[in-house]
Structure 1
Amino acid sequence: MDVDNEERRAGAPAVAAGRRGRWKRFFERAPGLQLMAVYWVPMTVLIGLPVRWLFDRQESLDEAVLGAALNAVSIGPALYLSRRMAGQQNARRDPEGYALREAMLTGTVPEDDAVRADLPGYLAGQRRATRAALLSIVGISVGLILLALLAADNEGFAVIFGVVAAVSVAVAARTLTRIRRLASLLAAPSPAETPGSRG
């Protein structure tokens, strides 16, 4: 019994480190749409809402939630710009992840054999994560639109969150199109493998 408990306690830090490593890798490799899907609600509830009430305690709950959610929308563009500006740092910190992300963004098959071997799995994961992120963001947007129209009686917020949903759909469609094209390039035989290419 004691041995089992000791083994469990010894294994717990390794499991926790593994989870932290997976989350760190996700945050380093995920596109802005996926990061926004993960950050939007926590940033709204934990940061945006308390800050709004700090400066305006008379604001109603529905208006405060809508305003905080709108402030948190800037996470997406900010993450995208910071990721693009820190390209070389990301390349040094996570060269494999950077190569995979660049291959997906540019739609080109990488030259490196190891990266090319990892690319199908990466693309499959990105396809699933992009769809999940889109469902999450559109679901949150629809909830905020209903809150704006039914509780706050504010059409301006409804229009803004409708635009957020539409932009998210466009970004996800572009990402999924790139993934599909790159996957088809990977599946196509190279000229050296085609029967007619030999002397």
Structure 2
Amino acid sequence: MVKQTTLALLALAASISSHQANASYAKGNPLTYVDPSGKVAYVNVSGNNITIVLPIVFQGGTWDQQQAMAGAITDAWNGQFGQYNVQTTVVNGSTLTTPVNTIQIDPGQSDALGLSRVYGDAMSGKWFAKPTRTCGLDYAHEAGHLMGLGDHPGTNQIMDDITTTPTVTGDDITSIINSPVNIITHEH
């Protein structure tokens, strides 16, 4: 499985450039169609094996803080969720010529507007260097937004806006696969 997943990840990373070149993220016409939310993940579906590449440009913060955020995302979003075996990788988006997510890292734990967040109108957000939830769950939750998921209050799962439990469900993965903000490839 590791070899197949690694090959799928490499194929997906290689396809990022080809998707940008033909503007498939905008139905081949970037002047007419745009990604309405701006958020993006690259998802490869091979049966029940799902590979997610989440390109993020971190602005600000230290290298260690950036790595802790990426690690919190991969810790929460890798594993068996319902019927899906999921491998998620956060990649440095600064070297890509494709749509990427940009996250500003601010010092501290919160500000007058509240917790870490992803802005609804762009592929950007503001994350705080010190998480307010255990295990950096703030970052894993916000990564869910980058992959097209909304908040699910009262569920005590990863997209519950106040949860302290990093529970990803098969329904979360199905929603990511079906999200119009993501670029999906299918392997047969």
Please classify the TM superposition score into its range, dividing by the shorter chain length. under 0.3
TM-score normalised by length of structure 2? 0.23
Structure with max Cα Rg: 1
Greater strand proportion: 2
| TM-score, length basis structure 1 | 0.23
Higher helix share: 1
